[in-house]
Structure 1
Amino acid sequence: MNDTHSAMAAMSLDEATRLMDTALGRRPADLAIVNANLVNVYTGEILPNQGVGISGRWIAYTGEDPRASIGRETRVIDAAGKTVIPGLIDGHTHISNPCLPSEFLRYVMKGGTTSLIAEMMEPYPVAGTDGAIDFAEALGDQPIKIFTTMPAMVSISHACRGIALDDLRILADRPETVGIGESYWQAVIQSPEVYLPALLETRRRKMVLEGHTAGASARKLQAYTAMGITSCHEPVKPVEVLERLRLGVTVMLREGGVRKDLEVLAGILETGVNLRRVSVCTDSVAPDDLVSNGYLECVVQKAIDCGFAPMDAIRMATLNVAEHFHLDHLIGGIAPGRYADLVIIPDIRTIQAEWVVSNGRVIAEEGRLLIQPRRHPFSEASLNTIHLPRRMEAADFDVASPAKGPRVRVRAMEMVTDLVTAERHLDLPVADGRISADPPNDIVKIAAIDRRITPGKTFTGFIKGLHMTHGAVAISAAWDSTDIIVAGANEGDMATAVNRILDLQGGFVICVAGRVVEEISLPVFGYMSLESIETVAEKLKRMARVIREMGVTFPDPALSFVTLTGAAIPYLRICEEGYVNLKDGVTSGLFPDDCGEGEN
């Protein structure tokens, strides 16, 4: 069996010898920190007047008197009574959101995050194993460590459900892989024959099986957990945290771009439960939030502000995460033989990085990066994932009525919140045998177009609750699928928006009156921009303003659109095959059983 961490963890004989000699005082450290209050996450102590001796990538010594490890060539950082904590670890995030990894890392690194565990569900469905490997290569050889989880490929589309075992084995053998990513419990229970082979193969390899248990309870939660599920980042109530902890599941308290749950979940403190299997994660952070506010350091600070003891809050972003992923022999604490990942902060209650050390190198000081992330040259295949057989026309979004009469009943999606949808049956007008959108009554068209597996295959439906009065919005980064999503008040603008995505080889596009008025190019897998994170953040804000002028007032309209294909958010979703009700997993068409003529 392959040790999935061997390449990252590999310590050469020469490194080991130098490390031992440094610990014994026979050889000077490359870097030393002195006069620090050291946070020992193993014992829960704050040790005063401590030093840390570092040899290459590794910690050689921690203790009160590091002078024996300091020579003329040793770089010495005087912490001057400030506090040293382990480098922070985000246990669950999505990096392609929607910037290059190198742009994302510019803001992640300087706040004190030195390790990440990233999902791989974005590149795999649209670019296969080669694309997933290309993405993994982009995450490698960076100033901080990025581990990955394989995509479980829980999708509402039958065409891309489940990861092939041969593909899983290829990815599992890679050194950065620590397990399989989030699998949605409903799909696993509804279609075990599709998903269990990958879960069981991962379990056989003694890797983690990351979970997604939103809405699961009682026997269904236990049935899902019995498959070996090791974590969940979906609880939104303290009682859900406790229920999962009692089943041996590590719970990651989420505070990021999709949801901010930490303040509510701090209620778990009232139970007095042991926090050893509790950690924090971001589940991704939007570019504007990342640029303006920071990353995981803000989450740890908020945990402290919400009442978690500082030692517990720090453990929830260091040791607890490392132990969950079986990486605590490498990261998660400040001790000999671990990677030299540490952060100097003013005091244990103030998570503000003054110095950041990763792999034994000082990578940031006072919020300023000293070492830049590596920009990866993506392959031509990864930059060309929008495959349509021809350009779209307005007629491609026409919907023929199955019945005569001025109105017909259709199945439609309704936005109940900015993310949650429900099934509705609506009576819509018919003109010249075609069913029309009805923007004055808040009903527009919504379509999913396959861009890879069956290129050009399209399902067009209707959606209520967007409040879109005119124009069209299209995006290629639809969750858990190979689809482009487009919503519009008229078919011509829908076609123009999709064609612009084809030209860009991925994008987020707004079209009004036949003209593209705003866009972001997303050529990497149809998910990521080649522009700077600052430029992307500004463009997203500008696009949100334009979309609000079209009537859509959701706080993050891009997120609202890309999640319409997602297999994790209730209840009615859409893909190129039709609507899918997540309650039962059934795919259905546009017309309910009682279609026929609607009311006049």
Structure 2
Amino acid sequence: MTKLANIWLYNTAYRSFDWGSLSFDRTIAHVDRRFGEEGGEGLYLIPGLIDIHMHIESSMTTPTEFSNTVLPHGTTTVVADCHEVANVFGADGLSDYMDLPSELDVFYAIPSSVPSTSAELETSGGSIDEQEVHQLCKRDDIIALGEIMNANDLFSEGDNRTKRIIRAFQEEKRNFPIEGHCPKISQELLSRFIAGGVDSDHTQQTGLSIQEKSSAGMFLEIQDKSINRETIAALSDPHLVGKYCFCTDDVMPDILFSKGHLDAVLRNALSCGLDVHDAIYAATYSPAMRMRLFDRGSIAPGKIADFILVDDLNTLHIHAVYKSGMKVFDATEGLINRLPVPTIKDSYLHSLRRKAVSPSQFTIDCPNGTRDILVMEREETTTFTRFAKQRVTITDGVVPFAQYGLSLIAVVERYGHESPILPAFVKNGLKKAGAICTSWAHDSHNLLVLATSVELATRAVNLVLERQGGIALVDEDRQQFVPLSYGGIISLEPMETLAGEIADVRNWLKEHGYRAHEELMNFAVLALPVSPAVKISDKGLIDVVHKRLVDWRTYWE
């Protein structure tokens, strides 16, 4: 039995601190709260942080290295929706990924949107329907259904994949949470969304959306991009305690390594005026209750001894982290037990089945003359895109796109079908000569390439194919490569190494004129055909609003 004495203990019931001591082994045996005593100088003990909406693959790593990375930041439990792996390898590959070792407690939500649309609009390597849900629900670590993104399926009268998945999950895991994704849904449509069995949302919020969704009975999972003084003022209403939690959703490797994990989200909330006691509650007890994790989330007898020692409540500076009663991180010693790189099946390391491509595969016949074509125009401050008109003069059937400040964009199918390449053009793409190609492209993870010339695009794609997955950066005189050997989306390198490589990619995009709040993520979702309003897949340019393929050679008002 271990005892920590003369410390400040977080009190979940009153959202305050008490002076006292803690006795524990793997679980908490006794909490000696000396009510009424003023106490003195000492460390603050709070429950381990719990992140219930996140995607490990957004950090481009395995559960093993993710554990090594986030335990020092006080995250001791996560609920992961690994839909990126499922899109590449299907349910069997997803299970193998979930079986990788971790000192962090990792629970899982079944991906509900694999693929994100349909075989008519994109090619993926795997799919999940009711049969796969029944299969995955046999796992004890499955405790939720991952974010339901297809609201139209919920609203429709007939049967469809989303409804089948929800029914199958409810049959297997009655009363377990079903997570939602419902940006810009309000009023009657919001009621219909919730009535469909989906009662949480993690998308970007405003003060008004917080009020409306909370009043409708929706549990809110607040990620970093939703945090500002307006939203924190709304969340500070004492009536909302327990109706929301904090989460990370997606954290890129360089941001994770340099700024932190859920602790960074909490610091941002504190800087915007949230009371520290409420912030701790929303990252510990509140998410634990949402996910029915009744054995953690508070400092109380019988609970798992997951906790953090903090020496400054204003900055939440971490002094030590304990997982199941064992110290796993110390501010002086660092991470005490680093888990080694896990063994990965060879088939997962050789998953790109496309043959090398040639420049001729990037050309599409187009009638000569001066005419209007459709292009994808990026908003540089968001992930939103729109259709735009560009007048071009075509000679020899080729669009001289660089002459008009446009970039070539294409998604190259990678799963062995040798599908034709159907390129399009982007406004607000690259300003300086170069090409970037990545096999980490949401959600189907075909090869997404953006380039200022067909020749550079070809070089970048072939480099990714040759190296079996990763990110290729190609200029006229040099090239760089970030290996993502596990399925083309996951690195097997230490997070420190990967973070430096991703920072280099981010800098390359900036240097080549690609403007965005989150450069690499912004680029990767240009291939996500559920993100408004125009995206691209291996099938071509997609009108997301109307869920149809578009020929860029034809323009309409």
Which residue does 2:111 correspond to in 1?
A: 151
**Which residue number in structure 1 is paired with residue 81 of structure 2?**
119
Displacement of 1:453 after TM fit?
6.9
Q: Match for 1:320 among 286, 306, 311?
A: 286
Given that 2:154 and 2:196 are in contact with CA atoms closer than 8 Å, whether structure 1 keeps it comes out as no
Do 2:86 and 2:127's aligned partners in 1 also have CA atoms closer than 8 Å? no
Question: Partner of 2:448 in structure 1?
Answer: 485
Cα drift, residue 264 of structure 1: 4.1
Is the counterpart of residue 103 in structure 1 residue 69 in structure 2?
no
Report the 3-state secondary structure (helix = DSSP H, G, I; strand = E; otherwise coil) of the residue aligned with 1:459: coil
Quickly say closer, same or farther: Cα 1:176–1:437, change in 2 above 3 A: farther
1:229 paired residue number: 198
Q: Secondary structure at the match of 1:546?
A: helix
Q: Percent identity over the alignment?
A: 23
Flag structure 1 segments of 5+ consecutive residues without an equivalent: 1-28, 66-78, 596-600
Which residue pairs with 2:396 in the alignment?
432
Whether contact under 8 Å (1:578, 1:590) holds in the other structure is no
C-alpha distance in 2 between matches for 1:272 and 1:417? 37
- 1:86 corresponds to: 47
* 1:182 Cα deviation after fit: 1.5
| Conserved 8 A contact 2:529-2:535 | yes
Counterparts of residues 373-412 of structure 1 (less than 5 Å): 373-388=339-354, 390-401=355-366, 403=367, 405-412=368-375
Q: How does 1:439-478 map to 2 (within 5 A)?
A: 439-452=402-415, 454-478=417-441
1:546 equivalent in structure 2: 508
Query: C-alpha deviations, 1:127-173, integer Å up to 9, x for none?
Result: 112220121012x4x22201111111252442459622221222222
When residues 198 and 456 of structure 1 are mapped into structure 2, their CA distance, relative to the original with a 3 A threshold, is same
Separation in structure 2 between the aligned mates of residue 363 and residue 293 of structure 1, nearest angstrom: 20
Aligned pairs, number: 540
Higher Cα Rg, which structure: 1
Q: Secondary structure at the match of 2:42?
A: coil
Amino acid corresponding to residue 396 of structure 2 in structure 1: D
Secondary structure of the residue aligned to 1:540 is: helix
Q: Secondary structure at the match of 1:102?
A: helix
CA, structure 1 residues 594+285, in 2 after alignment: closer, same or farther (shift >3 Å)? Answer: closer
Distance 1:150 1:587 in 2: 29
Give the aligned partner of residue 331 of structure 2: 366
Q: What's the counterpart of residue 24 of structure 2?
A: 54
In the alignment, does 2:141 pair up with 1:176?
A: yes
Which residue, out of 479, 483, 492, partners 1:530? 492
**What residue in structure 2 maps to residue 76 of structure 1?**
none
Equivalent in the alignment of 1:202: 169
Q: CA deviation at 1:304?
A: 2.5
1:61-106 CA-partner distances (Å, limit 9, x unpaired)? 22259xxxxxxxxxxxxx9732211111112112122234333333
Deviations 1:201-230 (A, max 9, x none): 223322221111112122222222222113
Is the contact between residue 111 and residue 352 of structure 1 (CA under 8 Å) also seen in structure 2?
no
Following superposition, the deviation at residue 547 of structure 1 comes to: 2.9
> For 1:354, what is the secondary structure of its paired residue?
strand
Matches for 1:501-516 after TM superposition, within 5 Å: 501-513=464-476
Shift in alpha-carbon separation, 1:362–1:414, aligned structure 2, 3 A:
same
TM-score by length of 1: 0.84
Asked whether the equivalents of residues 439 and 467 of structure 1 are also in contact (C-alpha less than 8 Å), the reply is no
Tell me the residue number matched to 1:414.
377
Give the whole-Å Cα distance in 1 for the aligned partners of 2:264 and 2:48: 14
C-alpha distance in 2 between matches for 1:188 and 1:480 = 19
8 Å contact from structure 1 (residues 156, 566) kept in 2: no
Q: Distance in 2 between matches of 1:270 and 1:52?
A: 30
C-alpha deviation, 1:240, in angstroms: 0.9
**Counterpart residue number, 1:356:** 321
Shift, 1:408, TM fit: 3.6
> What is the Cα deviation at residue 190 of structure 1?
7.1
Q: Give the match's secondary structure for 2:217.
A: coil
Q: Do the aligned partners of residues 556 and 300 (structure 1) sit closer, same or farther apart at CA in structure 2, a change above 3 Å counting? A: closer
Letter in 2 for 1:239: L
**One-letter amino acid of the counterpart of residue 338, structure 2:** Q
Aligned residue in 2 for 1:570:
532
SS at match of 1:110: helix
